[in-house]
Each structure stands twice: as structure tokens, then as C-alpha cells.
Amino acid sequence: MRRSEIFEGAGEGRGINAHPNQKNKNLGGETFKKGFAVILTAVLLISAIPAVAMALDWQQFQKDEIAMGWTTDSAPVNEPELAWWKPTSGTGMGGIDVTPIVADGAVYVLDYKGYLWSFDANTGAENWHTKCNAADGTFELSVPAYHNGIVYVAASSGSEGAGAGRVNAIYANNGTIREYAYYGLSGFQLNTPVRYADDKIYIGNWKGGSEHTEDNGTYYCIDASDVTNKIWNRTASYVTGYYWAGAAIVGNYIIYGDDRANVTCLNKDTGAFVDYVNVSEPPFNINNPVEEIRSSIAWNESTGRIYFTGKKPSPVSGHAYTVGFNPNTGHFDTTDYWVTDIGYSTSTPAVYNGRVYVCIGGMYGGSGVRCLNEADGTIRYSIDKGAAQASPAVSIVDGHVYIYFTTNVNNGSAYCVEDTGSALVERWEWNPPYPDNQYILQGMAISDGMVYFGTDYGRIYALKEGQVQFEIPIYKNNNDPKNLFSIPLNSSNTTLAEVIGDDAVDYDTVYRYVNGEGYKSATYYGGTWWDADKVEPIEPEVGYEYRRSGDAFNITNVGQLLQSLNTTIYGESSTGDGKNLIGYASLDETNLSSTFNGHPVDYDTVYRYVNGVGYKSTTYYSGTWWDADKVEPIEPGAGYEYRRVDETFYWTYNP
């Protein structure tokens, strides 16, 4: 069941002081009741944390200790395929309410009972699962963190009357608990992501009821080498708490928000107070109502700013904030700020290349993802896909920006949208299979071509790039057995035997053109492709000539659409040989002007071979491809000959 705010209150997750007759768990004001005419929804903010992580890892909430939220790892951009799924505890009350983390080939996720699960990132095979509480809980909201073979887990045995929170250090290789310690007073929940940096971990707690935060929360700094060793703690001098309000570690400082609109900066090693801002005060002045900060803090070194969101359910309010921060002194610069009304949000913003991405939505309205201008906070564009309390995970591949998020609605889905520069455009939606029709409170982690997320049904899913199939005709008639073809998909099958399959007949010959050397060929005879190494590997950027001795057939190419392609077009003036046989793999651009935009020079010529007719050509001159219709559309599966009269160029495009 999913969370909503049926009362005005502090909570986004679960509170521990709900009325004893209230069956659905109190999420600190965001409790969800399903089956009622009015379905009340809320979402736990996603938090993912790595410290100094490889591109292939997503070791903490929003990837690292500054909540960067983006990676250069690829992720599925076309219709995804389910790589694997696995059950954890539960099938519909709490299930999984945290984002998975990924490190060293494994995926880790904390379920609602307080069990940490480890799965092989590629296959989904379970490595182990370990109980992180003395007794089973009914929800857990803290995203673990990984460093150097240890997973750090904060658990609360989330339920009415629960005891203090427990911090665990767990060996990643076998799930054994290295040591654990209890932190906080009875009734306090450890609800923030665990943040790792410089051999320390940081965590905050919260206590509240269905309508309010009711005690003074504490932030802790704990020795990562021995979690029984508390280095420092700071309890607020006013009633507040830290609910999903994860920290950013910037230089010598820790920065975190709270339920009273404060953002605090401390010395990360000593806990000494350095500075604060309150967004209900000047220059922000968001005080009607005063908003709760339920996001983590994100830091961007290139802009020198921190980013976060705030919200209030009654009256409904939500804003995105930024303020300058000096990493050398730990002080905020309130002359460098903006605040933008974005609607109800508990999402941690992701900042990249002058854009700020943030998810919108909850019980009290809002939906989808917004893209803001980083410079001034103005909204560029939005996409409406349902209430999303996830924090966006962003993949940057060959200049393309892909944003991944989930929706916290009944029968929620996972999404990928692309920022095209003028809009957020949906690439795909993936809905978990029946009977998993639950809410998805947290968002996704990206690693090595895959995305990972969990649902309230207690399942963790891994999605990969989906498979595509092309049928490429190879013609034969008595007078003209010649074909120019290409293999447009990325596949593990790169040999002639794998690509052509059982359809080859004796004396079939495949040619590859090597600039400066001429044609290389392989001929099939007696069940073998002779001299296959002269034309292999069969790869997408290359065009091939196929001389067919048998009847016509189709080459079936099954694989993944490429995210980018780099093809060298050799020029006559630089190599003495301007001939190239090339393939093409894009499904989007089909005309010569867009395909080779910016590259052609006068007298460049492209040829297409039409079986039974011969070569057709188009020549570029004075800004125009003349007779372009003779070779268009430029399409996957066809091979083309490009005669280049000028210097060599490197043709890069995105399929």
C-alpha cells in the first residue's frame, strides 16, 4: 500500500505514533489507504549515495556524497527489456521504499522488514540477505551506502512504538554484520539516506505523528571503520526532524535541510556550527506556508550552488531552491539564489549542463518532471506522467540527456524521457507485470547499461536495452546477384557464420572495402566461410557487398539499437582513396541532408545499389544533394558507397 498525506503533517513516509486503531501505517502524515473512493498518495523520496564512485557504480543516494544524480553510464533508451526481477519481503504494504544501490557487480536493496538483500547485478541471482533489525519492522526509508566492501544500513524497525534506530556495517561479500550500534531515543526513525564520505557516515533522525513533527531531531556523524564509535551528534534546539533530508558533503562541510525550512552547515569532522539559511526568511521569503525540506541537498561545483526542494501539504505549496555556497569557508551566499514555484515536491534535484531536473507530485497535486534553467530557475518545460516523488537519475551518453524516474501512483511505472533541448520527450514507459500493480515510491539507480528499482509489492526489477529485429533482404537473380547491405544493430554475433546463419550456399561471397587497400573477401564453401577474418567482424558502421549464388533470403539481425555510431569517411585528398562502404543505423533521420548534415563538400557522391537495376547515385554541390531521391531513404540494413573528394571526416550520429 502506498503513502499519502491524509492529514496536514510532517510526514512523507511513516510515523510511529499513529492511532492504535488505524490499520494503515502512518507515514508521518503520508499514509496511503487503498480501496477507498479517495485514494491518498504520497511518496518516499529516492536517495542513492556513492562517495567517490566509478562510472559503473551508484553507491549511495543520487550516486555520490554530493547527490550528483547523473552518470555517463548508459541505460536503456529504447523500449526496455526485463533483465530480471526478484522478490524480497512483502507483497503490498511496504515492500521496497528505497532506491537500490549498485557496487562492484552487485545490487543492494533494503526491504520494509529491515532485511538487506544482495543480488548479482547482471543475472539477479541472490547473493544473500541479512536482517538489520532486532525485530521485523513494517517500513524502512533510509537508502544504504557502500564503500570498499562494506554496506552501511540504517534501520528503524519502522512501526508504532519502535525503539531507537540501528546502524549496521555489513560485509558485501557474504552479508555478515561486522558490527552494529543503536542511535537516538526510543520512537525516533532513521529516515535519511546514509551518506558516506572520508571514512565517516552521516544520518539524521525524525519523530512525529500523523499531523506533525513532534520532537527535536538529531544528525549523527559515525566512524565508518567502527559504527559503534559516534564521532559527533547535533540535536536541533527547536522542534524539527530530518525526513529524507539527506546531507551533501562538500569539502570540510556537511549541509542538510530540515522540517522547519532551515539548511544547516557544520564542520563535517567536528560538528561545529558554521552557517545556516532559512527559506522562510529573506531573501527567499517562502513563509505562507513555511515549507518542510524533504529532499537531500545536491551540490554543483561548477556553479558553486546547492539545490533542494521544499513542500507543504496545507495550504499546498512546493518550491525548488538554490543558494550559493563557499566550499572554502562553509558560508552561504544569499546574494546568489533563486526560488521557483514548481508544485509539491520531495525530490532531490539533479543538475547538469545548465539544467535542473526535478520530479513533482504527491497526495496534494503535481505530476511528472520539470526542467528548469539553472541560471535563474525559470521553468523551461515539463512532462506530466503522474505523481513522482522519485529523484531523477540522469544518464549522459554522447551528448544526449536521458532522465529516469518512477511514479508513486496505483500501478506505477518506470519512465525514461529525453531532454531534446526544446522539450522533455518520452522514450519509454515500463509497467511491472501482474500481480505487481503497486506504487513505486523511490526512483532508479543507473549502472552499466541497466536501471534498477523496487516497488511496494516487494520486488526489485532490472531493465536493460531491449532487443530489435531487422530483416535484411539478400537478392539473387541470374543476371545480378549483387547486394550492398549493413548490419544496423549492436549484437554479440559478429562472425559471418553467426550473421548469415544457415542460409549461405557454396560460392556465396562477402566483400568488405578497406580504404587504401581495396576489396577483401570471404567465400562460403563446404560449410565454411574461407578467409572470414578478412571481412570480420561484421559491424554496424560498415557496408558489405554480398554476391549471392543461391536463392534470395533474409538476414535476420537481432540486437540492440546503438546509442551512437562513429564511422570514418576516408577522403581522397587525405588518403588517395575516397571510396567507402558504409552502413547506417538510425531510425530517425532518413534524408541525406539530415544524415550527413555539416559534412558534405562539393562533388561528394553517395551510391546505393538497386538489385536488377544497378547503382544509383546522388552528388552534393552548392548546398544540395542532386537526385537525392535516387538513393533515399537512407535506412538501416542498406549499404552505401560514399565517394569523398575532400579530407577524411569522422561521421558521428545517434541512432
The helix (run of H) or strand (run of E) holding residue 499 is helix 496-500
Burial grade of 237 (CB within 10 A; 0-12, 13-18, 19 or more): exposed
Give the C-alpha separation, 184 to 251, whole Å.
27
Q: What value does the mean pLDDT take over residues 503-511?
A: 92
- pLDDT over 70 percentage in the chain: 89
State residue 467's pLDDT score. Answer: 74
Q: Name the pLDDT band for 587 (thresholds 50, 70, 90).
A: confident
- Given the C-alpha cell 514555484, which residue does it identify? 341
State residue 163's pLDDT score. Answer: 64
State residue 26's pLDDT score. Answer: 33
* CATH 1.10.10.10 is held by the domain 70-465: no
The helix (run of H) or strand (run of E) holding residue 575 is helix 572-575
State residue 613's pLDDT score. Answer: 86
Kindly report the number of other CB atoms within 10 A of residue 501's CB atom. Answer: 12
CA distances from 263 to 65, 274, 291, 370, 577 (A): 17, 11, 12, 23, 64
- Given the C-alpha cell 548508459, which residue does it identify? 74
Fill in the amino acid letter for 378.
T
Kindly report the number of other CB atoms within 10 A of residue 505's CB atom. Answer: 14
Q: Do the beta carbons of residue 481 and residue 549 sit within 8 Å?
A: yes
Q: What value does the mean pLDDT take over residues 563-586?
A: 84
Fill in the amino acid letter for 173.
N
Digit-coded pLDDT (tens) for 275-309:
999 999 999 999 999 999 999 999 999 999 999 99
State residue 18's pLDDT score. Answer: 32
- Phi, psi dihedrals of residue 651, rounded to the nearest 5°: -90, 110
State residue 210's pLDDT score. Answer: 55
- Give the closest residue to 308 by CA, choosing from 392, 383, 250, 245: 245
Q: Taking 80 as the threshold, does the pLDDT of residue 209 lie above it?
A: no
Cell of 556: 535476420
Residues 6+ apart with CB under 8 A from 542: 486, 512, 581, 582, 583
Q: Which pTM was predicted?
A: 0.77
Sketch the domain layout of the chain as residue ranges.
70-465, 468-655
State residue 629's pLDDT score. Answer: 94
Q: What is the 3-state secondary structure (H, E, C) of 118-187?
A: EEECCCCCEEEEEECCCCCCCCCCCCCEEECCEEEEEECCCCCCCCCEEEEEEECCCCCEEEEEEECCCC
Q: Residue 318: helix, strand or coil by DSSP?
A: strand
Give the C-alpha separation, 277 to 296, whole Å.
15
Give the C-alpha separation, 46 to 349, whole Å.
11
Query: What spatial distance separates the first Cα and last Cα of the chain, rounded to whole Å?
Result: 40
Q: Taking 70 as the threshold, does the pLDDT of residue 642 lie above it?
A: yes
Burial grade of 335 (CB within 10 A; 0-12, 13-18, 19 or more): exposed
Burial grade of 333 (CB within 10 A; 0-12, 13-18, 19 or more): middle
Q: Taking 70 as the threshold, does the pLDDT of residue 631 lie above it?
A: yes
CA distances from 99 to 214, 461, 601 (A): 27, 11, 51
Q: What value does the mean pLDDT take over residues 528-557?
A: 89
Digit-coded pLDDT (tens) for 122-151:
999 999 999 998 888 778 999 999 999 999
Q: Name the pLDDT band for 477 (thresholds 50, 70, 90).
A: low
State residue 473's pLDDT score. Answer: 83
Give the C-alpha separation, 483 to 178, whole Å.
64
Q: Do the beta carbons of residue 105 and residue 446 sit within 8 Å?
A: no
Q: What value does the mean pLDDT take over residues 615-628?
A: 93
Q: Taking 70 as the threshold, does the pLDDT of residue 2 lie above it?
A: no
Q: Which has more pLDDT, 490 or 261? A: 261
- pLDDT over 90 percentage in the chain: 64
Least confident of 331-340, 400-409, 589-598: 589-598
Least confident of 4-13, 110-119, 259-268: 4-13
State residue 93's pLDDT score. Answer: 66
The alpha carbon of 139 is separated from its chain's Cα centroid by a whole number of angstroms, namely 24
Q: Which has more pLDDT, 217 or 314? A: 217
Which of the listed ranges 167-181, 351-365, 609-623 does the model predict with the highest average pLDDT? 167-181
Q: Name the pLDDT band for 247 (thresholds 50, 70, 90).
A: very high
Give the C-alpha separation, 165 to 230, whole Å.
14
Least confident of 76-80, 201-205, 347-351, 418-422: 76-80
Q: Name the pLDDT band for 310 (thresholds 50, 70, 90).
A: very high
Q: Name the pLDDT band for 651 (thresholds 50, 70, 90).
A: confident
State residue 36's pLDDT score. Answer: 26
Give the C-alpha separation, 358 to 194, whole Å.
21
Give the C-alpha separation, 77 to 84, whole Å.
18
Kindly report the number of other CB atoms within 10 A of residue 602's CB atom. Answer: 11
Burial grade of 420 (CB within 10 A; 0-12, 13-18, 19 or more): exposed
- Given the C-alpha cell 508513486, which residue does it identify? 408
Give the C-alpha separation, 301 to 138, whole Å.
39
Digit-coded pLDDT (tens) for 49-74:
333 334 579 999 999 999 999 999 99
Cell of 378: 525559470
Eight-class DSSP state of 573? H
CA distances from 30 to 9, 113, 308, 573 (A): 8, 19, 20, 69
Q: Taking 70 as the threshold, does the pLDDT of residue 28 lie above it?
A: no
State residue 211's pLDDT score. Answer: 59
For the four alpha carbons of 182, 186, 187 and 188, in that order, the dihedral sign comes to: negative
- Give the closest residue to 215 by CA, choosing from 204, 224, 231, 201: 204
Q: Name the pLDDT band for 510 (thresholds 50, 70, 90).
A: very high
Q: Taking 80 as the threshold, does the pLDDT of residue 3 lie above it?
A: no
Quote the radius of gyration of the chain (alpha carbons, Å). Answer: 28
> How many Cα atoms sit within 13 Å of 454 on the Cβ side?
38
State residue 635's pLDDT score. Answer: 87
Eight-class DSSP state of 559? E
Which of the listed ranges 191-205, 533-547, 628-642 does the model predict with the highest average pLDDT? 191-205
Q: What value does the mean pLDDT take over residues 577-595?
A: 85
Give the C-alpha separation, 285 to 281, whole Å.
5
Give the C-alpha separation, 297 to 68, whole Å.
10
Digit-coded pLDDT (tens) for 269-283:
999 999 999 999 999
Q: What value does the mean pLDDT take over residues 228-242?
A: 96
Q: Taking 80 as the threshold, does the pLDDT of residue 470 lie above it?
A: no
Longest dimension (CA), the chain: 91
The alpha carbon of 643 is separated from its chain's Cα centroid by a whole number of angstroms, namely 41
pLDDT averaged over every residue in the chain: 87
State residue 501's pLDDT score. Answer: 86
Fill in the amino acid letter for 326.
N
Give the C-alpha separation, 264 to 277, whole Å.
7
